[in-house]
Amino acid sequence: MNHYHWNLLPNVPEEYIAIVPELPPLISKLLYNRGITDPSQAHLFFNPDERLSVDPFLLPDIHPAINRIYKALLSAESIAIYGDFDVDGITGTALLMRGFKALGANVTPYIPQRLNEGHGLNDSALDQLKNQGIKLVITVDCGVTAISPTENATRKGLDIIITDHHTPSEKLPSAIAVVDPKRSDSAYPFSELSGVGVAFKLLQALYHSIGNKKQLDKLFGLVAIGTIADMMPLIGENRYLVKKGLSLLRESPELGFKEMAQSAKIDISSLSPEDISWIIAPRLNSAGRLESAMISYKLLMAENTQEAQELASILEKKNIERQRLTSTALLKARKQVISRGIGPLLIVSDFSYPVGILGLIAGKLSSEYYRPVIAIKKGVKLSSGSCRSIPEFNIIRAISQCSSLLTHFGGHTQAAGFTLPTENLVNLERQLYQLANRELSGIELFPQLDIDTEIILDELDKDTFQAIQLMAPFGQCNPPPVFLSRCVKVADCCIMGNNGDHLRLKIKHGSNIWDAVAFGMGNRLLELKSSVDIVYNIELNKWGGEEKLRLNLLDFSADRQL
């Protein structure tokens, strides 16, 4: 387990000390650290509303996309929604299915199976859809790099509209439309929409064109789930979409989501982004990792309680199985890391790794060792890889430089995936090791913990906590505020959790005693001294009908010097 390099952010310049004069100066500091430097920005940050919603007609190719959809609706053509198998793709598929069904469209969903089809568009699936009488395929969260499958489908008379949010290659697919805010020629001012976010904007353009905007209000919950699960930055338009979506999920959730939340023991009335990231998303992903993501799709579309309960129960079981498989594979992967040595890039591969959990293996190892990691499921003829990286290394750029060895690849700067002939594995590993050694040479690979400000614990109370909550929802690019307090006393400490993975503490400052937890730090019990510096978030712990402020420790040290 890495300890962090503590980075205490600079003090706020005098002219920004009162960005929001009616709130404590601490809030101005937190806003400044997030790039909010004037009252009007702060007001919109605290109250993200429709002013943040961008005109969907600024998206590239949106006009030809809408024109082709009009034609399909007027002619009662058969339309397929082709989504990816992660939460972003599943929610986007459900969103377009709901939106198109409300317009009376003849529409069917298709989500490829991770285990035998892999990510994105594939020739076999498109041929199957054409044979079923489909005339138009609309993708969600995939397709922007699917040059060959799109060309093949077009040649056979199948029309394709691509909606995606991944980075395109230099050449775009020969589709009717490629709607992606990350296109280099895009006039859309916000490029960080999720896949379901782009699908929502397509539907928004369609509904606005026909003068029927009300139906869209029912779909914000799906947008929030997919945006949070895909770890998109909660700034700009995403902030509006997620805040409105969370409100909808708390107040009037769809049946499937409600049953899943109840099955996972979530208090839906106080649903948070963390609930979606750590509890809901793993369950929705579990079906696609082990079997078929259509189970999760059907749950989100469920229209009766019995069906929703049955599907939620299936997901619970899938999630437990996913956890078991991940634990087993991680034991083997850690042994590989140790035997190969810890260099700038870690690659683990085995014939036994389940394809569906490669990303989990890579993500866990990347977090533990603070290195870019590639986990590979080896096959006799074809192998598949999943990558997770760190800010210092752009993994999709590295993978792109090895494209001649790959049959398919795609992703983001810190997460990517690929398939390739197994015979190319040795050359791929060699090239990637060379790239990592060159790009990361001389860089100290150590995780950094940005600290908003140093405070005395007595400065924190429920009023301050409530003021901080005005900055919610928290997530990527708007993390929960991080504080540093020095020389606090450890009044009590013990391990907790089934395996002793966590710490429970009593922190004393002056006459006040705070409850604190340190998740994942059970192995650091002996590092605690009677007096320590702590870095933490503050949270409201609800237990036994009571609410009490609690410190969530991110790191601690008895001898740290900033």
Which tens digit of pLDDT belongs to each residue from 157-170?
A: 999 999 999 989 88
Contact yes or no for 525/501 (Cβ under 8 A): no
Query: Which residue from 305, 243, 184, 230 is spatially nearest to 46, judged by alpha carbons?
Result: 243
**CA angle (284 as vertex; 371, 223 as ends), nearest 5:** 90
Spatial distance between the Cα atoms of 121 and 143, rounded to a whole number of angstroms? 6
Residue-wise over 65-76: b if at least 16 C-beta within 10 A, else e? bbebbeebbeee
* pLDDT attached to residue 462: 84
Q: Is there a shared CATH topology between the 5-47+448-557 domain and the 56-235 domain?
A: no
Spatial distance between the Cα atoms of 161 and 478, rounded to a whole number of angstroms? 33
Residues 6+ apart with CB under 8 A from 449: 4, 5, 6, 7, 482, 535, 554, 555
Spatial distance between the Cα atoms of 201 and 181, rounded to a whole number of angstroms? 11
CATH of 56-235, one of 3.30.70.600, 3.40.50.2000, 3.90.1640.30, 1.20.272.10: 3.90.1640.30
Q: Where are the domains of the chain?
A: 5-47+448-557, 56-235, 253-339, 341-440
Taking residue 315's Cβ as centre, other Cβ atoms within 10 Å add up to 25
* pLDDT attached to residue 495: 92
Spatial distance between the Cα atoms of 2 and 47, rounded to a whole number of angstroms? 37
Query: Which residue from 103, 95, 91, 392 is spatially nearest to 217, judged by alpha carbons?
Result: 95
Query: Which residue from 307, 227, 210, 199 is spatially nearest to 259, judged by alpha carbons?
Result: 307
What's the Rg (C-alpha) of the chain? 24
The pTM score is: 0.90
Instruction: Tell how strand 546-557 and strand 453-454 pair up.
Output: unpaired
* pLDDT attached to residue 1: 42
Amino acid at position 399, single letter:
I
Q: For 380, what's the count of Cα atoms within 13 Å in the CB-facing half-sphere?
A: 0
* pLDDT attached to residue 459: 83
Residues 6+ apart with CB under 8 A from 130: 153, 156, 157, 158
DSSP state of 280: I
Contact yes or no for 439/393 (Cβ under 8 A): yes
CATH number of 5-47+448-557: 2.40.50.460
Spatial distance between the Cα atoms of 510 and 26, rounded to a whole number of angstroms? 21
Contact yes or no for 503/540 (Cβ under 8 A): no
- C-alpha distances (whole Å) from 533 to each of 405, 464, 517, 526, 552 are 49, 21, 15, 15, 14
Which residues are paired to 5 by β-bridges? 448
Omega prior to 149 cis, within 30 of 0? no
Strand blocks (E) in 497-545: 502-509, 512-518, 531-543
* pLDDT attached to residue 562: 53
Spatial distance between the Cα atoms of 438 and 434, rounded to a whole number of angstroms? 6
**CA angle (430 as vertex; 438, 388 as ends), nearest 5:** 70
**Ranges of the chain whose pLDDT falls below 70:** 1-2, 544-545, 559-562
Spatial distance between the Cα atoms of 399 and 411, rounded to a whole number of angstroms? 9
Amino acid at position 265, single letter:
K
* pLDDT attached to residue 561: 53
| Overall fold of domain 341-440 | Diaminopimelate Epimerase; Chain A, domain 1 (3.10.310)
